[in-house]
A and B are shown apart, each in its own frame.
Chain A
Amino acid sequence: MKTIPPPCPEPESGLKYWRSLDQLADTPEFRQWVEREFPAGASEFADPVSRRHFVKIMSASFLLAGFGLTGCRRPEEKILPFARMPENYAHGVPQFYATAMPTRGSAIPLVVKSHEGRPTKIEGNPEHPDSNGATNAHAQASLLDLYDPDRAQRFTKGGNGVASEAALDFLAAVAKQFAATAGEGLCFLMEQSSSPSRERLQSLLSQKWPKSRWFVYEPVDFTAARAAASAIAGHPISPYVKLESASVILSLDCDFLGDEEDSCRLIRGFASGRRIAKPAGTMSRLYAVEGLMTLTGANADHRLRAPTSAVISIASAIAAQVAPGNNDLKSFAQKFPLPGGVKPDWVVGCAKDLLANKGASLVLAGYRQPPAVHVIAHLLNAELGNKGKTILYREAPPPPASLSDLKQALDANQVDTLVILGGNPVYNAPADFDWEKTQRKAKTVIRLGYYEDETFTRSDWHLPLAHYLESWGDARTSDGTLVPVQPLIAPLFGGLTELEVLARLGGLEAAKPYDIVRETFRAIAGAGDFEEKWKKFLHDGFLAGSAANPVEVQFIPERAAAVLAAAVALPGPTTDSLEVVFHRDYRVDDGRYINNGWLQELPDPITKMTWENVILMSIQTAKSLGLDVRNRENNRLTVPRVKIQLAGRLIEGPVWIQPGQAENTLALALGYGHKPTQTGRVGRNSGYDAGPLRVSSAPYFAVGAKLSPTGETQLLSCTQDHWAMEGRPIIREANLEQYRQHPDFASRMELEPPPGTVSPDQQFTLYPNPFDKLKEKAIHQWGMSIDLNACVGCSACMVACQSENNIPIVGKEQVRNNREMHWIRIDRYYAGEVADPQVVNQPMLCQHCEKAPCESVCPVNATVHDEEGLNVMVYNRCVGTRYCSNNCPYKVRRFNYFDYNKRPLDQLYKSPLFNRMDGEWGLTKWLKDVDKGSKAEDEWELMKLVRNPDVTVRMRGVMEKCTYCVQRLEQAKIAKKVKARDSGDIRLTEKDGTIPKTACQQACPAEAIVFGDVSDPDSHVSKLKAQDRNYKVLNFLATKPRTTYLARVRNPNPVMPDALEMPQSTKEYSAKNGDPFEGHEAGHEAPADPAPGAGKGAK
């Protein structure tokens, strides 16, 4: 942002003229000064001390200010260095710390970049044995939560703020109180955690106070697979799947690519099986059985669409085929017959494929499915010999007591003090528990929470929870490796960690979380130099060799039979008795991220909806219910609102059509619709709450709902509601067989260039491209390759890019006007019938075209090409013509229509002239401090901390777009040059590991995005571009993009009834443009460019 010098000083009143402020003040010094013939300073002109004094007086004088030349100078800015320089600190050089983000039963190992003592970017930890350095969207966005102005910042008692000492004294008093009664009446309600420190504290406290009780509640409970395995094995075990070793995967409503826990790791395993370098390569095959359209279904080779309640029947049918000798499964299959509409051949084909891949197959059941389906999955894995190969089992702690146990205790008035650590049970407990009232049955409720949310209103004492980036702690990743949670900043608002609260409540001596974690580590690390091990632990971000060993398990048939026998058959859904499915939202999770702007604005990977949730249904269901969704007025998406009634409970929400959803099924995303008074400014009025329909007996799906329109309509903010490629080869795909026969199919699927233009490969010599000359002097040429086989559509790259590049959020209304600011977006297309389509995903970002249409039309030359192939955006030159965005065929340029950083999102259309903020007129506020925005003070101060100082923060009127993370490129080049000094060794190479990763590349769990030097024939990106699947989007426009894609290859099983000869989108393409697999006339282009490495020409 430009700093504007303040206006020149002017006299306070118009008529009285004076020569200096001293005269105006008429101080005695001034009178003395005036009386002397020569002012005091004049005679001692040479003395430096007096010169200072002299100039001070003179500069105060109105006349000597000389019509404001010194006054109109750039305002004085101060440098405030340290009084004592910290060790190893150089201002401007970021520091990196290894930590981890605890997720329910696991953790994501991270390396967090810290600028000037505050964390600014989250990355994965590639050194960790079970991580490739990737993260997911939640981990990337969790940084914004740290700087959330609406988080709990105070200690409260009865809703009123108290001093922290008062709260801590109260905890000590509680400790004393229960010491006397051995914990009688003390109950802890916690979230799921893998932290060994918390486990240790829990056992310490349980030993100290045997009568205390411990409960764990997660509204979305991922322990179903573990619980089922433990039930049939007879002792607590936990499964660990290795998708990378599986050739055939069957997903029974298991959205392991999106919804399930640990999706980061599972995407990596899955993508490694999907990558195919040559036609002779192999690919894994994914079968998905599901009722909702999920990312897993979108990436499946065969998808069976069936209501969620019917998955159990399909699972049993498959099981009967796979294990015909198992009588329990056979009788179970008879109890759960296949629903009508499901072809038995599908089941047979799938089963045969599983049997053909014994030891290399995997059956997964999702968290929404009842225990019987999980048991079937484990039994099938055992039957198929997958144990020890694609699925391992490890010892697990015994399952904790649940929320219903706590409810029993509360109803029986057994609870004196209830301590709630995290979570938000008043919001997300099952509706039949009536938790708002039930919680108050405890005499005293102490809650440690991150927000003053719904649970805060029913608590007596509320303590602010520290963010994991501010906390000391530990966790275990899924493979059992111990990882530290290391703080990067002291708690911003004096928050406490879970460990500290437990220690204080327990009256333990070591109450500081740092000491607690060290103690736990001492026990785990074993013999040896403790300090060295501890230092290495913190440095590496994990403890080497701490992964748990898998154990041999045998499943006990009687126990399995017992679980199967307990399964209940639900009637098939009909229009009058709809099935309702509750699912964890891709963005706000179970509601914990409702106030996170980045996640709210992130388009849902499947529906592309932002800022709220919708009621999803299939197109046929909408028709039979008489709902008309596509009702556009002024290009706005207006949808009807409906009421859903289930077992006497009622909710209301907007309707949306989801292609590929099962018939007569409604999908409701959890986590929205919070109380406006208890939600921050971002999460207020966002979506509807699906919780009231959810009961403890049917937490994930239920049959029997009735739907009725309310007659009202609502506007929705969807970033992509046009889902058809309409025969254009934007995403090119083929089946594996076709790829094997025609390896160059991708380059065959092309469109004719517009009439009068030349083909992309022809040189137009009349006006040579100035870039061709320019790139001769560069030593790198940057390019990117995106593998569409690996990309699953998880959108972690979108949040990573937003975090790295200071991309603002624009709010619901602006998204509705198509003004979202994401520099990279995931385009999601449906192909085929609307009822049961195929889905394809494509990340789209600036292609950095060598013949960029945007560069030639900028009237002020604000977008130019640099010699290394980047299309560069110079913000300070841009005047906001928007011609470049107009000319961009990929539509990847984003314009700042408003100053999204300085203006509050709900007041964008009001200028400071008409705007009041915090009771102050906008213009007054601006005059007082030009650099400050109109946002609320707390939001403004915290927002500044999130920003990456290496990237410009853009103002209104400026165009922006992906820069291939030019700040990272420059820093890498500079680092190399600094190291090289007077040698000529300044080239970045993959060999010495100096090629930087772009933010999107670093975040991608599937490693789908690969960036590098295309002038180096041995670089990873050059090798990918040399593959025969490589193609350019909109190649016929001859833009010569540096970002190319690897066409998608599907791997259908030819014997399956839904196996198609070619993918749906290819079918659509050939219907319009001719079959790309035969000799054809339309769109046939010259063969691919010559291999890179022949000169610096990039592909």
Chain B
Amino acid sequence: MPYIFPRWTNRLPLIVITVLMLGGGGVTAGMWYYFSPKYTRVGYQPIQPVGFPHSVHVNQLGLDCRYCHNAVEKSWYSNVPASSTCFNCHNQVLKDDSRLALVRESVATGKPIAWVQIHKLPDYVYFNHSVHVNRGVSCVHCHDRIDTMDEVYHAKPLSMTFCLDCHRQPAAKLRPLDKITDLGWNWDDDPKVAAARQSVKGNEFVEHWKVQSLQSCSACHR
């Protein structure tokens, strides 16, 4: 009686399972990373209608974050400044520069400048800037060294894991309230010393300020 299956089919199930497992594992691993905010969001650097460099304004000129983003301490939303804020200086500085044409047009006609939004959380997340800024979380923890950026890019993943990492260990990130907008600041120049001090002082802040760093769902998902 002839054999129905050739010999090599003996190994077929093993090959299929191995391929499926490797493939499935690969796909899962790929999705795990490539579909996560760490990949999809980090590095996003859209082209803005006006090429505003934070590096010049913040680092060189020394503007505080809150000069433009003035509602960050009052509201959940940290506002992009009105054109009139830009015009406070630029009605004299670089007042005919072509790069500021849109700003001049905006102030003259009231037409808003269409900035491209970079940092955006999903609609079902209710993040509040004011409570973070007023309670010891610096801008740098979520927006990275935006003061050195020529064009703003999305530096941190801002995924739920990212938020929870801090909420589970607020002591690792809190800093004195007058250093919130000092993005390059650290406790010490030596990283080891700085880390040690952060640990000590951070725990102190958590205790004295009664930092709750809520982790229940109702804190962000309403």
**Pair from one complex:** yes
- A837-896: which have CB < 8 Å to B? 864-868, 870, 872, 874-876
What residue of chain B has the Cβ atom nearest to residue A82's Cβ?
B82
Contact B112 A83, beta carbon cutoff 8 Å: yes
Q: How far is the CA of A2 from the CA of B120 in the complex (A)?
A: 13
Q: Does B93 contact A (CB under 8 A)?
A: no
Candidate in B71, B75, B218 with the most chain A CB atoms within 10 angstroms = B218
**Contact size range, A:** 35 or more
Q: Does B31 contact A (CB under 8 A)?
A: no
Cβ contact of A78, chosen from B117, B123, B131, cutoff 8 A:
B117
Q: Does B107 contact A (CB under 8 A)?
A: yes
Q: How far is the CA of A986 from the CA of B206 in the complex (A)?
A: 12
Which residues on B sit within 8 Å (CB–CB) of A865? 216
Stretch of A87-95, A375-383, A1038-1046 at the chain-chain interface: A87-95
Which residues on A sit within 8 Å (CB–CB) of B110? 83-84
Cβ contact of B117, chosen from A79, A875, A981, A986, cutoff 8 A:
A79
Which residues on B sit within 8 Å (CB–CB) of A982? 135-136, 177, 205, 208-209
Q: How far is the CA of A139 from the CA of B143 in the complex (A)?
A: 44
Shortest distance from the beta carbon of B171 to any chain A beta carbon, whole Å: 15
Q: How far is the CA of A90 from the CA of B74 in the complex (A)?
A: 7
Q: How far is the CA of A984 from the CA of B205 in the complex (A)?
A: 10
Q: A91-B71, A91-B77 are in contact. Are A52 and B47 (CB under 8 A)?
A: yes
Q: How far is the CA of A55 from the CA of B135 in the complex (A)?
A: 40
Encode contact with B along A684-710: 1 for CB under 8 Å, 0 otherwise.
000000000000000000000000000
**How many A-B contacts at CB < 8 Å in the complex?**
157
Q: How far is the CA of A83 from the CA of B212 in the complex (A)?
A: 38
Cβ contact of A978, chosen from B46, B80, B112, B130, cutoff 8 A:
B130
Which residues on A sit within 8 Å (CB–CB) of B130? 974, 978
Encode contact with B along A956-973: 1 for CB under 8 Å, 0 otherwise.
000000010011011000
Contact B131 A978, beta carbon cutoff 8 Å: yes
Q: Does B219 contact A (CB under 8 A)?
A: yes
What residue of chain B has the Cβ atom nearest to residue A865's Cβ?
B216
Which residues on B sit within 8 Å (CB–CB) of A90? 70-71, 74-75, 77, 79
Shortest distance from the beta carbon of A974 to any chain B beta carbon, whole Å: 4
- B65-88: which have CB < 8 Å to A? 70-71, 73-77, 79-85
Contact A986 B112, beta carbon cutoff 8 Å: no
Q: How far is the CA of A224 from the CA of B40 in the complex (A)?
A: 70
What residue of chain A has the Cβ atom nearest to residue B83's Cβ?
A83
Q: How far is the CA of A963 from the CA of B216 in the complex (A)?
A: 14
Q: How far is the CA of A2 from the CA of B123 in the complex (A)?
A: 7
Contact B210 A984, beta carbon cutoff 8 Å: yes
Encode contact with B along A72-109: 1 for CB under 8 Å, 0 otherwise.
01101111111111000011110000000000000000
Contact A91 B79, beta carbon cutoff 8 Å: yes
Q: A74-B120, A83-B112 are in contact. Are A978 and B134 (CB under 8 A)?
A: yes
Q: How far is the CA of A74 from the CA of B37 in the complex (A)?
A: 11
Q: Does B191 contact A (CB under 8 A)?
A: no
Q: How far is the CA of A978 from the CA of B219 in the complex (A)?
A: 15
What residue of chain B has the Cβ atom nearest to residue A48's Cβ?
B51
Q: Does A160 contact B (CB under 8 A)?
A: no
Cβ contact of A91, chosen from B73, B75, B117, cutoff 8 A:
B75
Cβ contact of B116, chosen from A77, A876, A974, cutoff 8 A:
A77
Q: Does A952 contact B (CB under 8 A)?
A: yes
Contact B117 A77, beta carbon cutoff 8 Å: yes
Cβ contact of A970, chosen from B113, B126, B209, cutoff 8 A:
B126
Q: Does B111 contact A (CB under 8 A)?
A: yes
Contact B80 A81, beta carbon cutoff 8 Å: yes
Q: Does A585 contact B (CB under 8 A)?
A: no
Q: Does A3 contact B (CB under 8 A)?
A: yes
Q: Does B106 contact A (CB under 8 A)?
A: yes
Encode contact with A along B206-222: 1 for CB under 8 Å, 0 otherwise.
00111010101111011
Cβ contact of B80, chosen from A79, A875, A970, cutoff 8 A:
A79
Which residues on A sit within 8 Å (CB–CB) of B107? 83-84
Encode contact with B along A40-56: 1 for CB under 8 Å, 0 otherwise.
00000000110010011
What residue of chain A has the Cβ atom nearest to residue B79's Cβ?
A91
Q: How far is the CA of A3 from the CA of B85 in the complex (A)?
A: 32
Cβ contact of B85, chosen from A2, A74, A85, A875, cutoff 8 A:
A85
Q: Does A162 contact B (CB under 8 A)?
A: no
What residue of chain B has the Cβ atom nearest to residue A871's Cβ?
B218
- A929-984: which have CB < 8 Å to B? 950-952, 963, 966-967, 969-970, 974, 977-978, 980-984
Q: Does A280 contact B (CB under 8 A)?
A: no
Shortest distance from the beta carbon of B27 to any chain A beta carbon, whole Å: 16
Contact A866 B112, beta carbon cutoff 8 Å: no
Q: Does A1 contact B (CB under 8 A)?
A: yes
Contact A85 B77, beta carbon cutoff 8 Å: no
Candidate in A73, A92, A966 with the most chain B CB atoms within 10 angstroms = A92
Encode contact with A along B106-145: 1 for CB under 8 Å, 0 otherwise.
1101111111110010111010101100111000000000
Q: How far is the CA of A93 from the CA of B130 in the complex (A)?
A: 11
Complex A-B: 7 CB contacts under 8 Å: A52-B51, A78-B117, A92-B71, A93-B71, A969-B218, A978-B131, A981-B177
Beyond A80-B112, A981-B209: 8 further Cβ-contacts under 8 Å? A79-B116, A80-B114, A82-B112, A90-B70, A93-B71, A963-B222, A970-B128, A978-B135
**Residues of chain A at the chain B interface (Cβ within 8 Å):** 1-3, 48-49, 52, 55-56, 73-74, 76-85, 90-93, 779, 864-868, 870, 872, 874-876, 950-952, 963, 966-967, 969-970, 974, 977-978, 980-984, 986
Please give me the 5 A-B residue pairs with the lowest Cβ-Cβ distance, nearest first: A866-B216, A92-B75, A92-B77, A984-B210, A90-B71
